Structure 1
Amino acid sequence: MSLEGINFIKEITSFIFVEDKPEKCDIIFVPGSSWSEPAEKASRLWLDGYAPYILPSGKYSMSKGYFSGPITKSEKYQGIYNTEWEFMRDIAISNGVYSHAILKEDGATWTKENAFKSKEVTDNYNLDIKKAIICCKSFHAKRCLMFYSYAYPKTKFFVCPIDVDEITKENWFKTENGIDKVMGELSRCGGQLKKAVPTWS
Structure 2
Amino acid sequence: MNVLDVFTEFIFLEDKPERSDIIFIPGSDEGVLAVRAAELWKEGYAPVILPSGRYGKLTGRFTGDPAYGTEWEYLHHVLREQGVAEDAIWREDRATFTYENALRSREVTDAAGMSVRTAILCCQAYHARRASLYYQACFPEAKILVSPVVTKGISRENWYRSEEGIRLVLTEVEHCGSQFGEVVRNAAEKKLTGRLQSEI
Q: TM-score, normalised by structure 1?
A: 0.90
Give the Cα separation in 2 of the matches to 1:147 and 1:80.
29
Give the Cα separation in 1 of the matches to 2:5 and 2:11.
10
Give the Cα separation in 1 of the matches to 2:44 and 2:78.
18
SS at match of 1:133: strand
Deviations 1:136-194 (A, max 9, x none): 00000000110000000000011000101111101100100100110011111111112
Match of 1:100 in 2: 87
Hey, which bits of structure 1, 4+ residues long, moved more than 3 A? 195-201
Give the Cα separation in 2 of the matches to 1:31 and 1:108.
9
Q: Equivalent pairs: percent with the same residue?
A: 43
Alignment of 1:7-22 (within 5 A): 7-22=2-17
Give the Cα separation in 2 of the matches to 1:57 and 1:42.
13
How many residue pairs get aligned? The number is 188
Give the Cα separation in 2 of the matches to 1:195 and 1:176.
31
Alignment of 1:41-60 (within 5 A): 41-60=36-55
Could you tell me which of 158, 162, 169 is aligned with 1:182? Answer: 169
Match of 1:137 in 2: 124
Give the Cα separation in 2 of the matches to 1:34 and 1:194.
27
Alignment of 1:39-78 (within 5 A): 39-70=34-65
Gaps of 5+ in 1: 1-5, 71-78
Q: Does the alignment pair 1:23 with 2:23?
A: no
Gaps of 5+ in 2: 190-200
Give the Cα separation in 2 of the matches to 1:59 and 1:194.
24
Q: What is the letter of the counterpart of residue 154 of structure 1?
A: E
Give the Cα separation in 2 of the matches to 1:118 and 1:199.
19
Give the Cα separation in 2 of the matches to 1:92 and 1:199.
35
Deviation at 1:199, TM superposition (A): 6.9
RMSD: 1.4
SS at match of 1:82: coil
2:137 and 2:183 in contact (8 A); partners too:
no
Q: Does the alignment pair 1:161 with 2:156?
A: no
Q: Does the alignment pair 1:126 with 2:113?
A: yes
Give the Cα separation in 2 of the matches to 1:153 and 1:99.
28
